[in-house]
Amino acid sequence: MSLGAERDHQNSSLEFILLENEILRHVLAYMPIGFCMLDQHDRLQLCNQQFVDVWNLPLEVCQQGTHFRTIMEHSHGEEVSFSGDSKLGDAGQKRREWLTSDGRRIDVLVHVLSEGTVLALHEDVTEKREAEHRIAQMAQFDALTGLYNRGMLYQKLEATLSNKDQGIAAMLYLDLNGFKQVNDTLGHPVGDKLLVMVAQRIRSCCKETDLVARLGGDEFAIIMTHLESAKGSELLSGRIIESLSKPFDIDGRNVYTSTCIGITGISDGNATADDIVKRSDMALYEAKSAGSGVFRHFVEDMEHNACIRRTLEIDLGNAIQNNEFELYYQPQIDLHTMKICGAEALIRWNHPTRGQVLPDEFIPVAEKIGLIVPIGNWVLKQACKEALNWPDSINVAVNVSCVQFGNVGMLGVDLLQEVKLALEQSGLPAHRLELEMTETAIMDDVDKSCAVLRDLKQLGVTTAIDDFGTGYSSLQYLRSFQFDHLKIDRSFVSHIETDVDALSIARTIVALGRTMGILSTAEGVETKAQLEIVKEIGCDKVQGYHYAKPCSVENFRSYINTFSKSRISGSHRVA
């Protein structure tokens, strides 16, 4: 090679080296993380500004030749984790993590070359670790209450089932009574605050070793282990029920709720985590059926009952479409004229295989699975349609459930529209329709209830309070709501002959109604003696077995035709 060619080659090589160095400087300057290079004696050879920034180092420390030990003395932190792999002697790749004194986490990826040169990348991973922690929290904990979530409950159940040394263990399953009404009337923010406070009370009732979880909505569960006996789960259930029965102060307002609890023993047999949860749910269902503030242990019969309920739910979903419902009517007698003045519509379900099913059995199921509103609308329309064929002097009374009256979507416009639609489609005059509702339904939201009742009154529909005397029985709400009728609950009427208190209550209700211009009806009159007493205290109307059992529309029409004053003194009944 000539000297000229050699010089050209050297110049090209130098230019290439300069270009490489320029590229390296740009890479180091613009890379998003810190970089440093140490020689085999751990002395700094090269670093970028990001390395200085990530460790908050003074510039004089980051000069070429500074020992790495001196640099780390200015880092003000401690190593919290270390891992190494692919080592060849001292060479290989290692990962370290440091926690600085100001709470930041620095991830250091170290690569040691065979001759001892060290290349290291330094990254502030504080936000990344916080995000990972949040994700881990989301995977294990309920975001609203901070309790464990459903996934962690199942993990604990599976661990408990497989642990033969856990002793006696149990799962408690509970939800809140009336929580939906809290959301609907006070709003979801209040509902959320209630859930947080409920979680705190439940946690305060439990031991540190108990796992407390929120399964979703208003459902909670507790897993107890190392119990001395099953009595331990009952004692905890009692504490929780008592604690949740006390008012919750939310934004200066007392909010009330209550609970029922289902209890299931956890054994290391053939049961799975799903089995335990299902059994606890069955026990909770039985507890709720028994009333508020009740706990029940799971027993084998509950699985059979649950199977029957599930079949009933499926069949109930098809009942309207298959025209399986029928209305029965119980006559109401005007004690002033001694004539039939109305009839209460009572639904019956003609099940294709079980025969006639009474409402006490299927109405709670309908409420649970969300069918009570369409069923209630069907009753309203059918009652108006059938009552049109009766004499003009005979009205029809239709029950409105708590769900129909109180739920968002049924309260107000929708309920009123359903009533209007039923009257328009049937042609029944509005004054011949009476809507019966319980005290509980209207007290969930007094202001909205007043508005609904006012609109119904303007429409011409009359209203009645059913089972009066068993709920709030407030003079204030009677004045505010302006009902047309009070129905004295049968629990008072049935004891009116022998119980002085029952007689006094019935007499007071009648007198109260008369003072406020409200008519009174005695329910459940079964004997002539009861009839004479309710007449004597001034009741306006009666209904009960003394005159007739609930009967089909055909039999009721026959009853109307054969009814006369001369037969009232006896017990004219319709089978």
Q: Give pLDDT tens digits for 310-325.
A: 888 889 888 988 999 9
Q: How far is CA 218 from CA 74, 142, 182, 189, 407, in A?
A: 53, 12, 11, 14, 17
pLDDT reported for residue 527:
93
User: What are the tokens at 46?
Assistant: 């090269």
Cβ atoms of 438 and 394 closer than 8 Å: no
pLDDT classification of 267: cutoffs 50, 70, 90: confident
Least confident range from 14-28, 157-171, 324-338, 544-558: namely 14-28
Structure tokens at 136: 């881990």
Q: Which of 53-57, 124-128, 364-368, 539-543 has the lowest mean pLDDT?
A: 364-368
Residues 174-204: b if buried by 16+ CB within 10 A, e if exposed: bbbbbbbbbbbbbeeebbebbbbbbbeebbe
Per-residue pLDDT averaged across 236-241, rounded?
Answer: 96
pLDDT digits (tens, 9 = 90+) for 409-464: 433 447 888 999 999 999 999 999 999 987 766 766 677 778 888 889 999 999 99
- Cα–Cα distance for residue pair 64/52, rounded to 1 Å: 13
DSSP state string for 61-118: GSSTT-BHHHHHHTS-EEEEEEEEEEEETTEEEEEEEEEETTS-EEEEEEEE-TTS-E
Quickly name the fold that domain 141-299 has: Alpha-Beta Plaits (3.30.70)
Q: Are 431 and 460 in contact (CB under 8 A)?
A: yes
The ranges of the chain annotated as CATH 3.20.20.450 are: 309-567
- Location of each CATH 3.30.70.270 domain in the chain: 141-299
Rounded to whole angstroms, the Cα distance separating 335 from 530 reads 13
Per-residue confidence (pLDDT) for residue 369, from 0 to 100: 81
Average pLDDT value for the chain: 86
The predicted pLDDT at position 437 comes to 86
Ranges 21-25, 118-122, 290-294, 442-446, most confident: 118-122
Q: Which residues on adjacent β-strands are paired with residue 396?
A: 343, 433
Spatial CA neighbour of 494 closest among 510, 485, 506: 506
* pLDDT at res. 411: 38
Beta bridge mates, 11: none
**How far from 107 is each of 84, 96, 126, 127, 514, CA to CA, in Å?**
13, 6, 9, 12, 83
Residue 9: pLDDT band by 50, 70, 90 thresholds? low
Q: Which residue has the higher pLDDT, 418 or 306?
A: 418
Give the pLDDT of residue 74: 86
Residues 432/387, Cβ–Cβ less than 8 Å: yes
On whether the 31-129 domain is CATH 3.30.450.20, my answer is yes
pLDDT at residue number 566: 47
Q: Give the dihedral sign, CA 52/55/56/59.
A: negative
Q: Which two tokens stand for residue 365?
A: 């199921």
Cα 546 to Cα 53, 163, 167, 550, distances in angstroms: 94, 63, 60, 11
Token reading at 532: 């004479």
The pLDDT of residue 251: 92
Segment 290-303 mean pLDDT: 87
β-bridge pairing 105-112 and 168-177: unpaired
Mean pLDDT for 555-571 is 71
Intervals of CATH 3.30.450.20 along the chain: 31-129
* pLDDT of 408 strictly over 50: no
Give the best-scoring range by mean pLDDT among 4-18, 34-48, 300-314: 34-48
- First-to-last alpha carbon distance for the chain, in angstroms, is 127
Return the pLDDT at 470.
60
Q: Which fold has domain 309-567?
A: TIM Barrel (3.20.20)
Q: In the numeric block, which tokens belong to residue 334?
A: 């005007």
**Sequential DSSP letters for 115-180:** TS-EEEEEEE-HHHHHHHHHHHHHHHB-TTT-SB-HHHHHHHHHHHHH-TTS-EEEEEEEEEETHH
Tell me which residue of 203, 234, 236 sits closest to 220, measured CA to CA.
Answer: 203
- By DSSP bridging, strand 168-177 and strand 91-100 are unpaired
Share of the chain above pLDDT 90, in %: 54
pLDDT of residue 21: 72
Rg of the chain over Cα atoms, rounded to whole angstroms, equals 38
Q: How many residues would you count in the chain?
A: 575
Residue 516 pLDDT exceeds 80: yes
Q: Is the pLDDT of residue 237 over 80?
A: yes
Residue 320: count other Cβ atoms within 10 Å of its Cβ: 14
pLDDT for the residue numbered 555: 95
State the angle between helix axes of 179-186 and 188-205 in degrees (0 to 180), rounded to the nearest 10. 140
Give me the pLDDT at residue 2, please.
59
Q: If 0-12 CB within 10 Å is exposed, 13-18 middle and 19+ buried, where does residue 61 land?
A: middle
Provide the pLDDT for residue 407: 47
This prediction's pTM: 0.59
Segment 45-71 mean pLDDT: 92
pLDDT of residue 409: 40
Query: Does the structure show a pLDDT above 60 at 572?
Result: no
